[in-house]
Structure formats: C-alpha cells, structure tokens
Chain A
Amino acid sequence: MATVTIDKAAPTRKVKYGSMSRDRTWALRWSYFFLVIFAIFSLTPPIYMLITSLKSSAEISAATNPWWVFHPTLENYVGLLTSNQFLRFFWNSAIVSIFVVTITMLISVPAAFALARMRFWGSAVLATGVFLTYLIPETLLFIPLFKMFAVIGDWTGIQLINKWYVLLILYPTLTVPFCTWIMIGYFASIPKELDEAAIIDGASWIQTLTRIFIPVAFPGIIAATIFAFTVSWAQFLYPLVFTTSTDQLVMPVGIITTLIKGDVFNWGQIMTGALLGAAPPLIIYAFLMDYYIAGLTAGATKG
C-alpha cells in the first residue's frame, strides 16, 4: 500500500524537480562567479612569484613591466639547486616533516581510538582537553618552551636548542592534538556495531584498530597526514627561535636568514626558494587526494 502512495506523489515531485533545477542553474552560476574571483585572488601571488623567479636581479630592479619576463633565465633555479646550503635546508625540512608526520600518526591514531571507543574514566574530559591544547597559540608558548629546554640543558647536559631534532619534540605539540581530534571524529562516525562484530569475531583492541578502524577511517588518516605534513613543512616561529646555525635550519627560516642580507633582498632567489618549497606539499596533495575518497564507509550498515 505504501508504494502506491509514493507512486501517486511522483508526478507532483517531478514538477517541483523542474523548478528546482532552474534554481540550481542560478546557484551554479553564482558559485562559478565567486569561485573565479577567488581563484584569481589566490593564484595571483604564486604567478607573480613564478614570473619574478625567472628574472635576473638586473631585470627585477629595472623599471619594466613587472608582469612580464623579457629575458627569461634559470639562473635563480640553478643557483639555489647547486647551493649546498639550500639543499641542506630542503633536506632538514624533509627529515623533520617525515619524522613529525610519523610520530604524530603513531601517537594520535591510537589516542583517538582510545578516546573514541574505550570508555574509561575521564575519557570525555580528556578528549575536550586535547582540543583545548590545540587552541593555545605557539606565540604564547615559545618563550616558556625555550626556557624549559635551556633548564633541561643546564641540568642534564643534553643540548636541544639549536639542534634540528628539537623540532621533533616541538612540532608534535601542534600536530598531535589536532590530528587526534580529526581522528576522534572519524572513528566516532564508525558504527558501534562494527567493533562489536569484530570483538565477537575474536579481535583484540589492537586488531580492531589495525584491521577495522584504520582501513575504514583511511580518508581521515589521509586528512590528518596532510595536516601534520603541512604544519611541519610550513612552521616558521619555532625553527626561527630554536635553531640558529645554518646547518640546522629548515627551509622557511633558511630562505629568510640567508637570502636577506641586512637590507639587501635577493628577490629572485627568495621567490624561487618559496616556489621550490611549495612543490612537495603540492605533490603530496595531488598524490594523496586520489586516496581521499569520502564515503568509504558506505555499505558497512544499512547505508
């Protein structure tokens, strides 16, 4: 009987659908309009950087059209890519980011699983606490942290300041809370029956995490990984404060400290360095986005 009622309602809905589609067309036009403005707005700086990176210092300082390259040259690229210093910064950045992403995921995935699924005393408070930690800005923390590492250095003789690996301790304080929070969200969206089924099937907590939760929440893992990588790759304040020797610097700080000498800005190389520095995140996004398929949980339950 129910199907009959639905069939009767169908023609009316069709008429409505027609008008809805006209609404949709307009909504789409507006979307495109604003998206185009947004795209122009956000793509202008990188294009300007690309143009500048292809100019010689002489052309940059000459009073010609800044939006056009009259004598394109790769001298900035060649200069940077053959400079051991720049390659060192790049290498430091890569090592720090890879380690930080690994450390972050190793901590935040199990932490999120515990907070989302193992109801233990204080787990709800702890979950909120994790997020609040993320809200404290690093500008508030870097001086006390510096003092802390100095004191640790005095007491134990372990020198952490001005060593690249101090960043492996510092960055996770930024990435772990947020990634844990993202993963709590993803894990919480997995139906409770799924882990109950796994438990009845004989899986331990660890097996439930590795065999069920991580595969099912894989889009979340990707999102968290991208976030952790972006934060580590682009972090500026902590490396600026905690590392000073040129061989310990990561790229953002390295470019600033070595390519700006007093009030002399080596614009061509700065732009080139920034562009080269932006490449790894872009490549990683492009690569991981393929795996970032939402709705991977479809079909787990009645759907």
Chain B
Amino acid sequence: MADVTLRKVVKRYDEVEAVRGIDLDIADHEFVVLVGPSGCGKSTTLRMIAGLEDISDGDIMIGGDVVNDVPPKDRDIAMVFQNYALYPHMTVAENMSFGLRLKRYPKAEIKSRIDEAARMLDIVELVDRKPKQLSGGQRQRVAMGRAIVRNPKVFLFDEPLSNLDAKLRVQMRIEIKKVHQKVRTTTVYVTHDQVEAMTLADRVVVMNHGRIEQIGTPNELYHKPATKFVASFIGSPAMNFIPCRLEDIAGKLHVRLTDRLAFPLPLARAVRYQNIPRTEKLLLGLRPEHVTEAKPHPQPGVETFDTVLDVTEPMGMETLIYFTMEGSQVCGRVNPNADAHDGAPLRLAVDLNNMHLLNEVTGVVL
C-alpha cells in the first residue's frame, strides 16, 4: 500500500508560514495534482513529503507509517525536478541506475529495469548519451526514467514541464499520463498551470496562501467551485464575476445586475438561494461558455439581453467576446457565425442553470 496522508502539516520559515495546516488523503495509485499560484506553498508541501524539508508541525504518513523523521532515502519515493537535476557527468543509463547501484542491486536486474523504463519512455537509443547531448524533452524523459526504475511507492513531480515549450508540454503531459496508466504508482504532482492540473489529475488540490482551498475531481472543481479563488483559478478564459443583488419581483426571485437588468432565477436556483438576505452584496459567477449569442428558442433558465461588444477575439471554432456590465468586463463565447464584431451590438443569452452566486465579501460560493 502506498497511500499518502498529511495531517495538519505546517511549515514555518522563521517569520513566514509557508504551509499553514494541510490535511490531505491520497489513495494508493491515485494521481493528485497540487495547483495554485506561485508562492502558495506547493513545492514546500511536496518537499516535506519527500523529506527534503523538515515539517514544523503535524504528521506525514506514507503507506500508513509516520515518516516525519524518516530520511528521504528510506521513504521509498522518487522525485522529478523542474530543472531535471540530471547528473551531468553520467550517461543516461548511469543516471537512471544511480539509485539502484547505491543499493547494490544485481547488474542483471538493473539492466532489465533500465531497458524496460527506456522502452516505456522511448529513449532506448539515448542511454549512452550524456545529459548535455539531449534536448529539453529528452532530459525530462530521462528524469522520469530515473524515477521509474526505482519502482518507488510514490512519485513526486515539482513543475516537471514548466521548462518546456508549449507544444512539448502538451506532448509530455500525455506521456506522463500514459506512464501513470502503466505503472499505477501513487503520484503527487505540483504545477501552477490549471490546464495541466485538470488534464492529469484524478483529484486536484487547489492551494492558496499555504492553505487548501478545495479538493476535488477536475469536473467537481470546474462545475462546483467552493470559493471565488477556485472559481477564477480553474478554467480559461476565467469565470466572469458581476456584482448583483437578489430581489423579489412579482413573487419570483430575480438576480438584479443593473437598474434596468434583472433576470428571473430558474426554479432550482430560486429554491437554493431563497434564504439569502436581499440586501447582501453578491457576485454572479458565469463561465464564458454560459454567455452566448441568443438563440431563437431559448431553453428554460436561459435569459436574453442586448449589449454592445467592446472587443471580439476569433479563435476559429468559437469567437470570444468582451463587453462591460456594471463596470466589470464580461467574457462570452459565441458561435463564429454569430454576427459578433468589435463595437457592434449583439443580443446575448446567459444560462442561469449554470450560474454561481458568491458572497462578495467572503468569496464563498453560496
């Protein structure tokens, strides 16, 4: 069993609290991604799991054993670093076998493991090269190979793809996913890139200021964000937030955006938001895909309104539109055939079945 558990883990650097009490249960074989903006404590958390940093408070368990005071080499983990950290004076094969050689594995065993990993990563013809003779993507593969041959309980990745160019990053992302499908090793993966997090993870852990904002599957985070931070961090273009209030008009609950614009809420939403005080300052959260061009026969819960576009960005399969509502910029996604032009008027539809309502002050999704 190689499950990883963090209990109220804290890391203090003199003055700064880099990690402020993290609780996390990672199941055997699970691929968990820690995501969050730079400086939120992702690397620190990962390095504490690796044993490269002492933990100031709390417990870390790997496979059920508390490893707080266990040195890294006895934790049976492997780590892949952002800058690869290959040993420059060793060949690819020597790099991959270094850990096994230190542990005095039999030569035949080492060779078969290297062969297997090299084949899995498609670097068979590179095994006799030195790191400086490799491209960035190849170095990344070797760094992964070095982790795979050890056959550890847990893989730890710290932003392994951020030194690669965009195209290679997508390719390596798929590669990492394939490797995980084959070896099924419990993986903790750190990135600041939400796309990487969404595409790779079984579960995503969104971190902010040393705390966990939300844990969930990619779809849960996308469709049911718990806080404004998560809602705005996950998804691109980001979710729109429009200041609003609730109001009862003719016995029906409405969300009022401007003096002239108020939308009636669909029944399910009306029930859910019924008890919110009408004076509360709120934010209406709408993903760009729920702000589209108006269709002739709108679905229930889809409301239309007229606006003038500021800017349009044709993306090919869709056109991104930007307009201003109550001082906030709103982004929508319309069909490329819809008549959307810079500065032109357009009739838009918002899908309130997929709306979010947030407390403007606390940022909590209601």
Q: A residues touching B (Cβ–Cβ < 8 Å)?
A: 191, 193-194, 196-203, 207, 211-212, 215-216, 218, 296-303
Contacts and interface: CB of A to CB of B under 8 A. Distances in A.
Contact of B88 (A196, A200, A297): A297
B182 interface: no
B50 interface: yes
A200 B132 contact: no
Given A299-B130, A303-B132, A194 B102 contact: no
Contacts, number: 83
A300 B84 CA distance: 7
Contacts of B82: 193
Nearest to B156: A200
Nearest to A303: B132
B52 A300 contact: no
B85 interface: yes
Contacts of B88: 216, 296-300
B83 interface: yes
A147 B312 CA distance: 88
Contacts of B139: 299, 302
B72 A199 contact: yes
Interface in B95-109: 98-99, 102-103
B266 interface: no
22 contacts: A191-B85, A193-B81, A194-B85, A196-B52, A196-B85, A197-B81, A198-B98, A199-B52, A199-B71, A200-B50, A200-B72, A200-B77, A201-B146, A201-B150, A202-B103, A203-B102, A215-B89, A299-B133, A300-B131, A301-B83, A301-B85, A302-B83
Interface string B48-73: 00101000000000000000000111
B78 interface: yes
A95 B29 CA distance: 62
With most chain B CB atoms within 10 A of its CB, the pick from A216, A296, A300 is: A300
With most chain B CB atoms within 10 A of its CB, the pick from A201, A300, A301 is: A201
A299 B134 contact: yes
B87 interface: yes
B163 A302 contact: yes
Given A300-B86, A300-B131, A199 B73 contact: yes
- Chain B interface size, as a band, is 20 to 34
B79 interface: yes
Interface of B: 50, 52, 71-73, 77-79, 81-89, 98-99, 102-103, 130-134, 136, 139, 146, 150, 163
6 closest A-B pairs by beta carbon, nearest first, are A299-B132, A201-B99, A193-B85, A301-B83, A299-B131, A202-B73
A215 B98 CA distance: 14
B102 A200 contact: no
Contacts of B134: 299
Contacts of A303: 132
A300 B99 contact: no
A296 B50 CA distance: 29
A302 B160 CA distance: 11
A297 B103 CA distance: 25
B185 to A, nearest CB: 15
Contacts of B84: 300-302
B83 A200 contact: no
Nearest to B87: A212
With most chain A CB atoms within 10 A of its CB, the pick from B78, B89, B98, B131 is: B89
Nearest to A199: B72
Given A199-B71, A202-B102, 5 more contacts: A199-B52, A200-B52, A202-B73, A211-B98, A300-B88
Nearest to A1: B166
Given A201-B73, A202-B99, A302 B136 contact: yes
A207 B102 contact: yes
Contacts of A203: 73, 98, 102
Given A212-B87, A297-B88, A200 B163 contact: no
A298 B215 CA distance: 40
